[in-house]
Amino acid sequence: MNSSAPFTPVIAGSAAAAAAPVTPRNLAHRGGPASPTADALRERFGAAVKRVDVVWGETTVVVDAGRVTEIVAWLHDDPAQQYDFLVDVTAVEFRDGEQPIEVVWHVRSLPYRRFLRLKVLIEKGQKLEVPSVWATYKSADWLERECYDMFGITFVGHPDLRRILMWEQYREGYPLRKDFPLRGRFSRSEQLRQALAANPEARYSMDELSIAQAFEDLPEEMRRRLSAGEKTGE
């Protein structure tokens, strides 16, 4: 046991005693003062900032898809911004088929007590691709994987972009897209057929099978298929 370890927790105030807390009171539906970060972003990145909205007191900055990595790295590193906490990465598809798909990043600056929403709009028909922010925020790892899993948006630069909530052999598409029916794309009988046909050995991915001698213990037929490049047994 480490004798220098404290037995009582340190009781402290809050992270940013100097900055005023943000209280959601009397917020206007639209308009109102935008976050100072929006102006700073405009000044620094010019035309890459396409639009600034303030809805219910929250500032949304719509930016150019190509420069997301750069903008996020600047927000994280600039001493006057310090957006050090990535809250969430997600996407929105509207019921109106003409509206672009939005990829949304929520970031917080813990030292300045600020909240910012970054958005990239992907017009219909364009490739669903945005840069990954994993290099700046490690928390983007699973959040981007989930967004890929649910919407099929590719995060370019993510080190390990594969499905996370759905299983790797899932073939029905991307569940949170609006063209995906609530009950699933395949019929119940087809879903049952696929579930029954799944090979129990498919529990391990190739990634795991490459560890040590687990490969040796597999049946001959499975080894053959895996060697032929199959990702997991199906």
Site residues (CB under 8 A) for other proteins, limited to 132-171: 137-139, 141-143, 146, 150, 159-167
Specify whether the CB–CB gap between 61 and 123 falls below 8 A: no
How far apart are CB 125 and other proteins at their closest, in Å? 20
Find the shortest distance in angstroms from Cβ 213 to other proteins. Answer: 7
Q: Please give the residues from 82 up to 101 whose contact with other proteins meets the rule CB under 8 A.
A: 84-88, 90, 92-96
In the complex, minimum distance from the CB of residue 12 to other proteins, in angstroms, rounded to a whole number: 5
Decide: is 113 part of the binding site for other proteins (CB under 8 A): yes
What span, in angstroms and rounded, lies between the C-alpha atoms of 177 and 40? 34
Q: What angle do CA 37, 50, 114 make, to 5 degrees?
A: 20
Q: Which is nearer to other proteins, 47 or 222 (CB)?
A: 222
Q: Does 22 bind other proteins (CB under 8 A)?
A: yes
CA-based end-to-end distance of the chain: 49
Nearer to other proteins, 49 or 117 (CB): 117
Binding to other proteins (CB under 8 A) within 186-205 occurs at: 203-205
> In whole angstroms, how close is the CB of 41 to other proteins at the nearest point?
19
Q: Which is nearer to other proteins, 41 or 105 (CB)?
A: 105
CA atoms within 13 A on the CB side of 121: 14
Report how far apart, in Å, the C-alpha atoms of 13 and of each of 18, 22, 23, 70 are: 11, 16, 18, 34
**Subset of residues 63 to 82 that bind other proteins, contact rule: CB under 8 A:** none
Select from 39, 129, 207, 221 the one that contacts other proteins (CB under 8 A).
207
Cβ neighbors of 10 (< 8 A, separation 6 or more) are none
Which residue from 88, 86, 102, 65 is spatially nearest to 176, judged by alpha carbons? 102
Between CA 122 and CA 50 the distance in angstroms is 13
Tell me the window of 37-45, 61-69, 186-194, 206-214 that interacts with other proteins (CB under 8 A).
206-214
